[in-house]
Amino acid sequence: MGTVTSNVEVPVGVSLPIYMDNHATSPLDPRVLEAMMPYFTSKFGNAASRNHSFGWEAEQAVETAREQIAKLIGATSKEIIFTSGATESNNLAIKGIAEMYRERGNHIITQVTEHKAVLDTCKRLEKYGYRVTYLPVKADGLIDMEDLRRAMDDKTILVSIMAANNEIGVLQPIREIGKLCHEKGVIFHTDAVQAVGKVPVNVIADNIDVLSLSGHKVYGPKGVGALYVRRRNPRVQIAAQIDGGGHERGMRSGTLNVPGIVGLGKACEIAREEMDSEAAYLRGLRDRLKTKLESELDYVHVNGSMEHRLPGNLNMSFVYVEGESLLMGINDIAVSSGSACTSATLEPSYVLKALGLGDDVAHSSIRFGLGRFNTQAEVDYVADKVIDIVKKLRELSPLYEMVKEGIDLTKIQWAAH
């Protein structure tokens, strides 16, 4: 029987390895780097220094960035708080609101496919006497609005539902969620890390009160993020989680990361200008990849809604092939897998499990995260390579052989171990 090594030809113009994991992090756009550079060197001032030009220069740059970010999401610049990233933004939003509105109620609603920065924050609050409802998702990855409506009670203070999921790219109905929250007088926070700059997000139209975003998912730098906090209709208050010099209107102390903030601002400006054309481009590449894979391989399964989805996301299971073994065969392509074998805990992706997929389908999943710098030639190479390796690994797969012979795998008594 054949070998697993591949001799798929590398097209001209494609250099290996290919990065196709843009949900994990995105490369820094050269235009962003260029904007940041002076703030590492000559313009090194502390934005909080009020009495010399170094400080003023830094403060001016920070205010420009605040406006660039605000403009992308339809906010005003005073509503933007800088943080170290979305993990901090999510912590600050959820803990800060829980603390501030404790007298009004102690109930928080979120959902099961949130990022750990939301889930683990909620878990900690449960230890402190808060009640948290984790809504399930439907097979397509979306929450059921009726579930949300039913979960709300007179003690509910906060709903935290992500705009776009980082594994399956599924877009939650944030506008409807926000509308319902506003009807009920409940604050709506959304982790919009994967959505901002990729699909239109507008805090007014989408009824968002608090929103987390991060630099390194939008071709900006790592270690910088922001939190949008609504100032009117309703005015949202947040208890600081980091105390100190009273920066960021007392909500987040600490000397500002000026180069990072400048980079985040520039990244948001570029995203605003190029989002429409980029989304169309990425959707084209993504659909091309999907069509190629589906036309050459049987037993492939798209995880999550195709209709409500980020343009650059494709999460697919190549059933009867284990994800890590597939990654090993396509090691000149950077993607990720929901397989247990790739995780330190040996647990398959909780996001895929939440869709009601069998563990065996989760084990076979690959997340393709297309981004601004991917090309059609890269997509073609990736498709060919994945097809080649999946076919080879299926020759090695006892499950594929059994299914081909007409054996129902669910009827087999597997020895649990």
Partner 1 sequence: MAYSDKVIDHYNNPRNVGQLDKASTEVGTGLVGAPECGDVMRLQIRVNSETQVIEEAKFKTFGCGSAIASSSLATEWIKGRTVEDALAIKNTDIVKELSLPPVKIHCSVLAEDAIRAAIGDWKKKNSVAETANAAAVAH
Q: Establish if 151 lies at the interface with ligand FES (CB under 6 A).
A: no
Q: Residues for the chain: how many in total?
A: 417
Among 141, 173, 221, 225, binds ligand PLP (CB under 6 A): 225
Among 20, 70, 117, 387, binds ligand PLP (CB under 6 A): 117
Q: Which does 115 bind (CB under 5 to 8 A by kind): ligand PLP, ligand FES, partner 1, none?
A: ligand PLP
The Cβ of residue 147 has, within 10 Å, a number of other Cβ atoms equal to: 15
Q: Please report how close the Cβ of residue 408 comes to ligand FES at its closest, in angstroms.
A: 23
Instruction: Number of residues interacting with partner 1: please give it, by CB under 8 A.
Output: 35
Q: Establish if 100 lies at the interface with ligand FES (CB under 6 A).
A: no
Q: Establish if 24 lies at the interface with ligand FES (CB under 6 A).
A: no
Adjacent-strand bridge partners of 110: 134
203's tokens: 């805090």
Among 28, 37, 112, 396, binds partner 1 (CB under 8 A): 396
- Residue (101 or 320) nearer to partner 1, CB: 320
Residue list 319-348, contact with partner 1 (CB under 8 A): 320-322, 324-325, 328-329, 339-342, 344, 346, 348
- Residue (193 or 386) nearer to ligand PLP, CB: 193
Q: Establish if 367 lies at the interface with ligand PLP (CB under 6 A).
A: no
Identified catalytic residue from 122, 181, 268, 341:
341
Q: Establish if 277 lies at the interface with partner 1 (CB under 8 A).
A: no
Cα dihedral sign for 399, 404, 407, 408?
positive
Among 94, 119, 162, 181, binds ligand PLP (CB under 6 A): 162
Residues 6+ apart with CB under 8 A from 45: 52, 53, 54, 55, 56, 57, 58, 59, 258
Instruction: Number of residues interacting with ligand PLP: please give it, by CB under 6 A.
Output: 12
Q: Which does 321 bind (CB under 5 to 8 A by kind): ligand FES, partner 1, ligand PLP, none?
A: partner 1
Among 98, 152, 150, CA closest to 124: 98
Q: Which does 200 bind (CB under 5 to 8 A by kind): ligand PLP, partner 1, ligand FES, none?
A: none
- Residue (115 or 252) nearer to ligand PLP, CB: 115
Q: Please report how close the Cβ of residue 323 comes to partner 1 at its closest, in angstroms.
A: 8
Q: Which does 3 bind (CB under 5 to 8 A by kind): ligand PLP, ligand FES, partner 1, none?
A: partner 1
Residue list 182-201, contact with ligand PLP (CB under 6 A): 191, 193-194
Q: Which does 225 bind (CB under 5 to 8 A by kind): ligand FES, partner 1, ligand PLP, none?
A: ligand PLP
Q: Establish if 289 lies at the interface with ligand PLP (CB under 6 A).
A: no
Q: Establish if 181 lies at the interface with ligand PLP (CB under 6 A).
A: no
- Range 161-199 burial, b when 16+ CB lie within 10 A, else e: bbbbbbbbbbbbbbeebbebbbeeebbbbbbbbbbbbbb
Q: Which does 399 bind (CB under 5 to 8 A by kind): ligand PLP, partner 1, ligand FES, none?
A: partner 1
Residues 357-386 as x/- pattern, contact with partner 1 by CB under 8 A: -xxx--x-----------------------
Among 371, 352, 218, CA closest to 286: 371
Has 268 been annotated as catalytic? no
77's tokens: 């610049």
Judge residue 391's burial from the number of C-beta atoms within 10 Å of its C-beta, 0-12 exposed, 13-18 middle, 19 or more buried: middle
Q: Establish if 341 lies at the interface with ligand FES (CB under 6 A).
A: yes
Amino acid at 252: R
**CA angle at 364 for the pair 363 and 370, rounded to the nearest 5°:** 115
In whole angstroms, what is the distance from residue 288 CA to residue 290 CA? 5
- Residue (83 or 303) nearer to partner 1, CB: 303
**Interface contacts to ligand FES, rule CB under 6 A:** 340-341
**Interface contacts to partner 1, rule CB under 8 A:** 1, 3-5, 320-322, 324-325, 328-329, 339-342, 344, 346, 348, 358-360, 363, 395-401, 409, 412, 414-417
Residues annotated as part of the active site: 341
